[in-house]
């Protein structure tokens, strides 16, 4: 079943009234119309009067055999009677499930629920238990215990980052959004060599200032080689700048939060995550925050080095540093020569202390979630 078809079924199933008629009420209505007693129905169906009474009260289920008898005796179709029964039993089960969920509604306080609603990730519904149901469905888990195993515990492994462990629910909500977005993408199978070649094409995209132009190209280039690229705002409490996750043996996810805002940070985050995919296998998820080393400092340094040297070749950078005075125009000319954004060159120089943090920042492009660009 495709995700599109599944979403359609989910939409059709969204109507869940607080009440549903007992199937026996429909039987009783027909008996009244025809002037029949319960004893009359018992005689016509070969049921006992006790069983008929249980059917009318909803205490006895309408089985396939019963549905066929009702079809012959009262009319309509067996499918009609079975559907009434299924709807009724689902309603009872749903009410019991909501009662059970109501005992764990404190979980909602852990989630960045207001942002999840604002970003359109989950629906805002009445009642805490029903909201629990919506959030569990968003995460694709049956209960809070399953959520803690699938999402909270992996994030809690990042003990090196106080930021990540402070509000793991916010981080997991953001990461889950990436997983769900990837489900709707048409991805090829992962191809390492093709991905490395695609990175050279993506590197050229850094010179494009408009996200409306470079974002679809970035997504398409990566989708062809089995990698879903998802750009989503981070909810409150989620300090992550980027993430890498293997969705399967042949599909991967690179997720960016645009938390850094400027082009140098966005593109460095992307190539940093690409470095994780190429260098660190399929063992785990990588969650990266600005200014922290993550779970494995050595692997983070390797990903940093990969991004740094792919964006600006070491030989080119060495030639730039050979100049005694590096000015704004020199940075522009150098960036044009090596075919990357000037902001990326400036960010590198600032990070390594060759230029002050307040100098030449007009070279950087600042992104907004409205897909507009502005000078910093």
Q: Match 């078809």 to its residue by tokens.
A: 5
Considering only 69-73, 105-109, 156-160, 304-308, which range has the smallest mean pLDDT? 156-160
Give residue 156's pLDDT. 66
> In the CATH hierarchy, which top-level class contains the domain 13-103?
mainly alpha
- Give Cβ neighbours of residue 37 (< 8 Å, ≥ 6 apart): 31
Taken in order 367, 335, 243, 298, the sign of the CA dihedral is: negative
Decide which of 166 and 90 is more confident: 90
CA distance 315 to 204: 18
**Are the beta carbons of 155 and 172 closer than 8 angstroms?**
yes
Q: What is the mean pLDDT of residues 21-43?
A: 94
Q: Two tokens at 368? A: 């907004």
Report pLDDT digits (tens) over 217-230: 999 999 999 999 99
CA distance 85 to 61: 7
Beta bridge partners of 287: 243
CA distance 7 to 180: 12
Q: Give the domain ranges of the chain.
A: 13-103, 312-376
Q: Radius of gyration of the chain from Cα atoms?
A: 29
Element (H, E) at 242: strand 240-248
CA distance 298 to 313: 21
Report pLDDT digits (tens) over 50-85: 999 999 999 999 999 999 999 999 999 999 999 999
Query: In 3D, which of 161, 154, 170 has the Cα closest to residue 290?
Result: 161
């Amino acid at each position: 079943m495709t995700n599109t078809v599944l979403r359609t079924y989910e939409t059709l199933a969204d109507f869940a009234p607080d009440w549903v008629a007992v199937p026996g009420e429909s039987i009783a209505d027909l008996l009244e119309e025809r002037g029949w007693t319960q004893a009359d129905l018992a005689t016509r169906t070969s049921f006992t009067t006790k069983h008929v009474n249980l059917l009318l009260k909803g205490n006895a289920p309408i089985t396939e055999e019963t549905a066929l008898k009702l079809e012959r005796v009262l009319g309509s179709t067996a499918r009609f009677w079975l559907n009434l029964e299924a709807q009724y039993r689902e309603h009872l089960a749903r009410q019991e499930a909501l009662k059970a969920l109501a005992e764990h509604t404190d979980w909602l306080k852990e989630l960045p629920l207001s942002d999840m609603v604002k970003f359109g990730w989950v629906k805002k519904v009445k009642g805490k238990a029903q909201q629990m149901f919506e959030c569990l469905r968003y995460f694709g888990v049956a209960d809070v215990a399953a959520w803690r195993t699938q999402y909270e515990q992996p994030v809690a492994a990042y003990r090196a980052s106080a930021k990540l462990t402070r509000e793991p629910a916010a981080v997991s909500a953001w990461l889950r959004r990436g997983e769900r977005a990837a489900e709707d993408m048409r991805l090829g199978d992962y191809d390492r060599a093709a991905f490395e070649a695609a990175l050279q094409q993506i590197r050229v995209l850094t010179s494009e200032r408009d996200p409306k132009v470079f974002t679809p190209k970035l997504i398409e280039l990566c989708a062809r080689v089995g990698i879903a690229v998802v750009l989503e705002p981070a909810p409150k409490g989620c300090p992550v700048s980027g993430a890498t996750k293997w969705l399967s043996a042949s599909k991967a996810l690179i997720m960016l939060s645009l938390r850094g805002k400027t082009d140098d940070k966005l593109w460095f985050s992307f190539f940093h995550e690409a470095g994780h995919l190429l260098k660190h296998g399929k063992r785990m998820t990588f969650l990266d925050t600005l200014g922290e080393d993550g779970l494995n400092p050595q692997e983070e340094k390797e990903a940093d080095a990969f991004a740094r040297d792919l964006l600006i070749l070491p030989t080119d950078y060495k030639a730039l540093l050979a100049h005694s005075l590096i000015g704004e125009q020199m940075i522009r000319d150098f960036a044009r020569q090596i075919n990357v954004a000037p902001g990326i060159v400036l960010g590198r120089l600032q990070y390594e202390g060759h230029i002050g943090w307040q100098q030449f920042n007009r070279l950087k492009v600042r992104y907004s979630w409205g897909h507009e660009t502005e000078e910093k």
